[in-house]
Structure 1
Amino acid sequence: MAAEAVKRIKLGSQGLEVSAQGLGCMSMSAVYGPPKPEEDMIALIHHAINTGVTFLDTSDVYGPHTNEILLGKALKGGVRERVELGTKFGSSLKDGKIEIRGDPAYVRAACEASLQRLGVDSIGLYYQHRVDTTIPIEITMGELKKLVEEGKIKYIGLSEASASTIRRAHAVHPITAVQLEWSLWSRDVEAEIVPTCRELGIGIVAYSPLGRGFLSSGPKLVQSFVEGDFRKHLPRFQPENLEHNKKLYERVCEIAAKKRCTPGQLALAWVHHQGDDVCPIPGTTKIDNFNQNVGALSVKLTPEEMSELEAIASADAVKGARYNPNISTYVEADTPTLSSWKAAA
């Protein structure tokens, strides 16, 4: 697909415009196994940009730090001006465990460090990766607002935030985008979070739109998990759940065959059809897979086909939680009120 064929959408109400599909860069450096060869990943990033996919997603915790460094190298030499860059703070590794922080000093230090690793003067979209439930969201947002005023970040985002947290944050400074897991096998956000974002004019960035690869590869995906791939431990990929979950994949395959597209393209097209305020950010480490993902933009679904997909992806279609209990999600993302926090201080 030519660069001009990848349409652009407005994300949020503050002026950010991005490619209708982004590129999640996490797996290039971490989480799904060992880091991939740097030269190959830079070539993939450049290929994505030349294709018109210019919205790149990373985080300081990927690696940690190495994914931001990779993007910093890839964006040298005039490439930076062609991309919309999103990164995140708030999750750090301490003694092998994830620590969530949103205190002002940490917010500022994390931003300064990301700017340096990325080699940029300003971060386009800066998300709180996970919500610090020990500090009022207003305190964290206050520091982010200062960083916007100083020009160190342009737009503010939240990730895995509850509807109430989104509302309170947005009251301090406009939130441009909320990043959340949304796919045919993760639809719980449709009940409250997506409507809240739309009410407030906040864009939606859908991560893992391919169900962490399950919706493009099916149950055989687990055979490719290498040492260090955290999907090995996720409930949905355990044998007792996988047998049930493969039924969803099989139904997606049936519909994809009729549409003459791949199951992954169909699943991704379903996310695209949620609206022009939604930008999925499928990740990959292979150019061939990237090209297939971009092909999803050409798959058109009728209202009847959308209904059929949603019927097979109902609440009981998937067994197993999205994450293990030790990983924070929007379900636990409420923070204390300012008054109760001050009273307890």
Structure 2
Amino acid sequence: MEQRSLGSTGPKISAFGLGTMGMSAFYGPTDRAESIATLHQALDAGITLLDTGDFYGMGHNELLIAEALKERRRADVTLSVKFGAQRDPAGGWIGFDGRPAAVKTTLAYSLVRLNTDHIDIYRPARLDPNVPIEETVGAIAELVKAGYVRHIGLSEVGSETIRRAAKVHPICDLQIEYSLISRGIEDDILSTCRELGIAVTAYGVLSRGLISGHWTKETRTGKGDFRGMSPRFQAGNIDRNLALVEALRQVADRLGVSVAQVAIAWVASRGADIFPLIGARKRDQLTESLGALDVKLSDADLTAIEKAVPKGAAAGGRYAEAQLAHLDSEKVTR
């Protein structure tokens, strides 16, 4: 798989990364053996970037990755870890903690769970509204100097926060949702990142399965599945969103590929500084997603895709309003 630098200051990584959240939480029941097999398949296929969060399954995801990496060379893997999200014993969200002491404590626990002496990219999962980003990034910078962290990333923050953080320490990438139906970063954030030499690791490239081509109105979510509460999957929105998928399917059929492959290839086509994170939980999902590497979209293809799924055409927000209110990336810069 093609390898390229993650921003102007980051490590060289694979063109696609693997997002591992669904292997531990948020999408219903998981299969440990299948998850580890999928991780192995990703590594064998040339994926070097594994993205996790210390709050994915309350540490479960980091332990899972550590198990999968037992027989692998640590130098062949780039571990990206998000921290700061606070959850109660029932799994409820209770805020974000970006205080310097918390930054160092959470890093210490992640090092143990991942069975490693360093994290390649460490990033706050969200902006803590009570702690200046300079203090949070400054604490990570101290960990970089001490050798526990190699690079600093950000997640779901807006242009003003990105600029302030970059003044404290070089930022290699911004992790943020980016897909055919989630294109908010194109308004301002993407240009800021490019100005500063910051790459984008794009999650939600299939909008949590909504635009994978496999979701239908009859698909049911189980207990603990985020999509059961996601606005875009709700009655009143799902019909309109699936109509977009069917329009996209016509483009995919003409190209002889799957809907998922077209959707992922579109994200990858946005620039060499965009790195799609594939959120596969199973080997067959990963195999399909990796097929997007071979999909080369012409200008005519891109025009057809834009016509099928125009910017802003999705019904419903990517999160509920209460959650969007806490996303710094959703704030309009005045």
Is the pair's TM-score, using the shorter chain for normalization, greater than 0.5?
A: yes
Residue 170 of structure 2 is matched in structure 1 by: 174
Aligned partner (choices 84, 98, 102) of residue 98 of structure 2:
102
Residue 130 of structure 1 is matched in structure 2 by: 126
Query: Does the CA contact (< 8 Å) of 2:48 and 2:76 recur in 1?
Result: yes
The letter for the 2-side match of 1:23 is L
Alignment partners' CA distance in 2, 1:109 and 1:221: 44
Secondary structure at the residue paired with 1:41? helix
Query: Does the CA contact (< 8 Å) of 1:222 and 1:232 recur in 2?
Result: no
- Larger CA deviation: 186-195 vs 323-332: 323-332
Aligned partner (choices 264, 280, 285) of residue 284 of structure 1:
280
State, as a whole percentage, how many aligned pairs show the same letter: 41
The one-character-per-residue Cα deviations of 1:111-157 (angstroms, maximum 9, x if unpaired) are 11111110110001111110101111111111011010001110101
**Aligned CA-pair RMSD:** 1.7
Secondary structure at the residue paired with 2:322? coil
Residue 11 of structure 2 is matched in structure 1 by: 16
The letter for the 2-side match of 1:132 is D
Alignment partners' CA distance in 2, 1:317 and 1:225: 24
- Larger CA deviation: 257-266 vs 212-221: 212-221
Query: Does the CA contact (< 8 Å) of 1:272 and 1:278 recur in 2?
Result: yes
Aligned partner (choices 188, 192, 205) of residue 192 of structure 1:
188
The one-character-per-residue Cα deviations of 1:30-80 (angstroms, maximum 9, x if unpaired) are 01113x232221111111101111211100010011001111111113342
**Misfit runs of 4+, over 6 Å:** none
Alignment partners' CA distance in 2, 1:311 and 1:302: 14
Alignment partners' CA distance in 2, 1:33 and 1:238: 17
Classify 1:287/1:218 alpha carbon distance in 2 versus 1 (closer, same or farther; 3 Å).
closer
Secondary structure at the residue paired with 2:82? strand
Aligned partner (choices 92, 96, 110) of residue 86 of structure 2:
92
The letter for the 2-side match of 1:70 is L
Alignment partners' CA distance in 2, 1:79 and 1:295: 26
Secondary structure at the residue paired with 2:167? helix
TM-score by length of 2: 0.95
Alignment partners' CA distance in 2, 1:97 and 1:292: 33
Query: Does the CA contact (< 8 Å) of 1:218 and 1:249 recur in 2?
Result: no
Secondary structure at the residue paired with 1:180? strand
Query: Does the CA contact (< 8 Å) of 1:137 and 1:169 recur in 2?
Result: yes
The one-character-per-residue Cα deviations of 1:197-234 (angstroms, maximum 9, x if unpaired) are 00000010000101111111354176142111011101
Task: Give the C-alpha shift of residue 333 in structure 1.
Answer: 6.5
Residue 235 of structure 1 pairs with residue 207 of structure 2: no
Residue 140 of structure 1 is matched in structure 2 by: 136
- Larger CA deviation: 268-277 vs 93-102: 93-102
Alignment partners' CA distance in 1, 2:123 and 2:151: 9
Task: Give the C-alpha shift of residue 331 in structure 1.
Answer: 3.9
Aligned partner (choices 58, 61, 80) of residue 55 of structure 2:
61
Residue 83 of structure 1 is matched in structure 2 by: 77
Structure with greater helix share of residues: 1
Gaps of 5+ in 1: 1-5, 335-345
Gaps of 5+ in 2: none
Aligned partner (choices 31, 35, 41) of residue 37 of structure 1:
31
Alignment partners' CA distance in 1, 2:312 and 2:206: 18
Alignment partners' CA distance in 1, 2:73 and 2:222: 33
Alignment partners' CA distance in 2, 1:32 and 1:325: 20
TM-score by length of 1: 0.92
